[in-house]
Amino acid sequence: MLRVRTEIIWQGTLPFESNESLKGEPVEYHHDLQSYFWLAFLITCNCAGPFNTRRDWNKEMELSQSGQPITPALIDALAEIKTQGGDRENVALDQALNSKEPQCSDAFLPFAINYQLPWVRPGVHTLSPGEIVNQREHMTDRDFRNLMTPYFARHPAVLEGILELRTLFLGPTKVHGDRFERNHPPSEPVTHHKMLSILRRIRDTIVPEDDTYPDETFLAKARERYSRSLKSGNRMPLMAEEDEEEEGSKKPGSKKRASASGVNISSKRGRKTRGAMK
């Protein structure tokens, strides 16, 4: 006898899809704009520096669970070690705990990050579209701000601009009796003009001296990383889960095997199947 089981396969670029699209509503032009907004926000959550410096969520959450206070300096250090290499067990903690730059004390002030919102992290593909919409709609302003990496959050222009964009797409926040802050959808669709004016304002109001270009050592290492990716063709999408830590030792086979067992389609792979699977 043959046993038959049914599974649901989702299509599209899940992490960036608009709420309307995730709900299966007809796609309209402003939903593409909403996707750009989610892309902007997810970059501010997952990039901890310039030139493809990725946040080390796993280590960060591991430390948080073991009681380690999470500070901006710690997030920066973990990301740097993840991207550039190094002894992350020791260096990260050393850097975070032993202040090397006592003058900028903010970097060593612990702050509360809500790790219960997995839609902003790699691994989002295990969530159902409904869950993603739910998490997006019920995020508090504080969670929204605190999930951004310190690299972005230190600029008031970015914090304000991204929150303004959220209001633009999801409507203004309203506090209800329960602990969630619910949003009301905007009455009019977002125009390109409106969105562009906010993006440009963020760019124009960032203080250039606070947004410095990296030094030559960092640039040289970044060029090396880019060379490697050009050689291998291994491009890690922003929201794809890594199964190996070292870029050099990637084994595509193991990933394929993992995806064979379940509906685990990374953003890039999921993207490629849009419109193809009927």
Partner 1 sequence: MRRTVIKSLNIQITTLTFKFKDECTNITDILKPTRRWRAFDREQVEKMRNPDIVLVKTETETVKWVDVISTVEVKWRDQPDLLQKAIGQLADIAALVFHYQPFRQWFPCLSLCGASLRMSVFTRGGSLHTVPLDLHKDVNLFTEVMNYFTQAKDTWLGYDWGIFRENGQRWDPGVANPTAAMEMYRPIGKLFISTGVFHPHIQVDYCNLLTRFMLGLYGKGTRVFAVQGKSSRRDAVIKDCWDPSETVSDEAVHLKLQDPHRKWLDPANEINDHSERDFALQYENSSPYTDPWDDADRRFLRGVTIMEKSMRPRDPLWKGTTPAPPESIRSISAAMGYSWDVSNGPIILDDRHRHRTLFRTCGVDILWFGTVRELFHALAGAVVGEQCFVSSYSSFPMFLLGHRNAYEKRDILHGDVSDGNTLMLVDRISPESAVPKPPQNAPKGWTPLRHGMTSDWGSAADCREEEDKERLRRTVSSQVLVHAEGED
Tracing tokens 């669709």 back to the chain, one arrives at 189
Q: What is the DSSP letter of 246?
A: -
Closest separation between CB of residue 164 and partner 1, Å? 13
Closest separation between CB of residue 200 and partner 1, Å? 5
Closest separation between CB of residue 72 and partner 1, Å? 15
Q: Which is nearer to partner 1, 63 or 136 (CB)?
A: 136
Closest separation between CB of residue 180 and partner 1, Å? 25
Closest separation between CB of residue 227 and partner 1, Å? 5
C-alpha neighbours within 13 Å on the C-beta side of residue 264: 15
Residue 200: partners with Cβ closer than 8 Å, 6 or more residues away: none
Amino acid at 64: S
Residue 47: partners with Cβ closer than 8 Å, 6 or more residues away: 53, 54, 55, 149, 151, 152, 238
Query: Would you say 145 and 158 are in contact if contact means Cβ atoms under 8 Å apart?
Result: no
What are the C-alpha distances in Å from 200 to residues 158, 170, 174?
Answer: 11, 20, 27
CB atoms within 10 A of CB 217: 9
Residue 270: partners with Cβ closer than 8 Å, 6 or more residues away: 10, 11, 12, 13, 14, 125
CB atoms within 10 A of CB 107: 19
Pair of tokens at residue 33 = 């704009």
Closest separation between CB of residue 176 and partner 1, Å? 29
Q: Which is nearer to partner 1, 233 or 248 (CB)?
A: 233
Closest separation between CB of residue 117 and partner 1, Å? 19
What are the C-alpha distances in Å from 150 to residues 2, 12, 124, 156, 219?
Answer: 54, 30, 22, 11, 20
CB atoms within 10 A of CB 223: 11
CA angle at 84 for the pair 239 and 119, rounded to the nearest 5°? 15
Closest separation between CB of residue 1 and partner 1, Å? 5
Q: Which is nearer to partner 1, 116 or 187 (CB)?
A: 187
